[in-house]
Structure 1
């Protein structure tokens, strides 16, 4: 991407909307929101062990080739959760894939994402889905873990940050995005 295009995308509302990929990473069911807003999950089977990482990597690689995003927005690792170590493996392989493709990424901690979406840092999956319905009329059916919903919210946060919100939210919720280290589009990983 050329510098003038990157500068235009970074300015509020100027130029075309950036292509944002939302990723809710998990070893059991990674949620993906493509730049066009399509969401899906990458389910894996526990019996496949660490080979699940290869499945996730291949699916993320395929998503990157569909419509090369300007930036990926990833739900960050939980800071004090038992599952953080397992999820870190998924983060490592996905970040390596993004780096290989020259795609910058932003990490959004779960509480920040929940506050942005629902104004409550401990929002349940049901509350996140209800917030998506209230904000944009989107229903997440067949998404018991909320992985698609979270990925959708991550994409929405990226669009909002880069000046192309798809719907209105209260300023207090939008202000939560200031906590995230956002890459400058076209400048590589921050």
Structure 2
């Protein structure tokens, strides 16, 4: 039987077990389970759910774009997007590496619980921010960040809340549990 681990990856942690000389913290500092590997990845400056497994086929199914596995993100962006910006994201936008699939997007209140981030997101009195929930079914490099920037609302904080059927639940940053 395959093992599936759900991990709340903190900001600044690499989605791999070795740092290859980068000096950044890795999964090895949080998870001491032999034979499991991340199914997909989260950038160092993103946080939230990372699914790990010892099943190569499951890992491929989760990570491969052809599987169209839905991934839900909570996205803090600069300013409050209007309906036109949200609709552009819902239709899909054209980035340098091609058009994105349509995203499901809605404005949300700040997620709860929202754990502090180290370092904290920059705060600017003159520029409000807001939260979106985005569901995408592909995983181009830094896709959510590039999509929000494309419609004029740069991402300030990005938290993956769900991958397919798995969700963060009550996991705090740095905690993991078996699925």
- On whether the aligned pair clears a TM of 0.5, the verdict is no
Structure 1 length normalisation: TM-score? 0.29
Query: Quick check: which one's strand share is greater?
Result: 2
Give the structure-2-normalised TM-score.
0.30
Whichever structure has more helix as a proportion of its residues is 1
